[in-house]
Amino acid sequence: GQSLEQPSEVTAVEGAIVQMNCTYQTSGFYGLSWYQQHDGGAPTFLSYNALDGLEETGRFSSFLSRSDSYGYLLLQELQMKDSASYFCAVRGRGNTPLVFGKGTRLSVIA
């Protein structure tokens, strides 16, 4: 089976940096994806790591350590619009579906 763990909630101040962690237990791991979802909206792809290390896309960075079965999403220069749920998801081989964590609800406060 596959399981992912994420903190349920995080609160951070506008302009600050926040890190959201994800640990996973899975077989057939091919990569870790991150999705953002605003209330009532669709999950939107943010980042993907197949190999160890850091991937950077603008204000968003994602890190993966395959040996530790651990990853995180880093958001810099937080904005109010970043308030949303952030899901990590494990990708298996080929066309297999994503397995999502329970998500971390980020609240950005002034």
By CB under 8 A, name the binding residues for another protein: 30-31, 33, 35, 40-45, 48, 50, 87, 91, 95-103
- Burial letters 72-93, b for 16+ CB under 10 A, else e: bbbbeebeeebbbbbbbbbbbe
Tell me the closest approach of the beta carbon of residue 69 to another protein, in angstroms: 18
Tell me the closest approach of the beta carbon of residue 26 to another protein, in angstroms: 14
Tell me the closest approach of the beta carbon of residue 95 to another protein, in angstroms: 5
> CA–CA distance from 4 to each of 14, 16, 24, 45, 78 (Å)?
28, 26, 4, 18, 25
Smaller CB distance to another protein: residue 74 or 99? Answer: 99
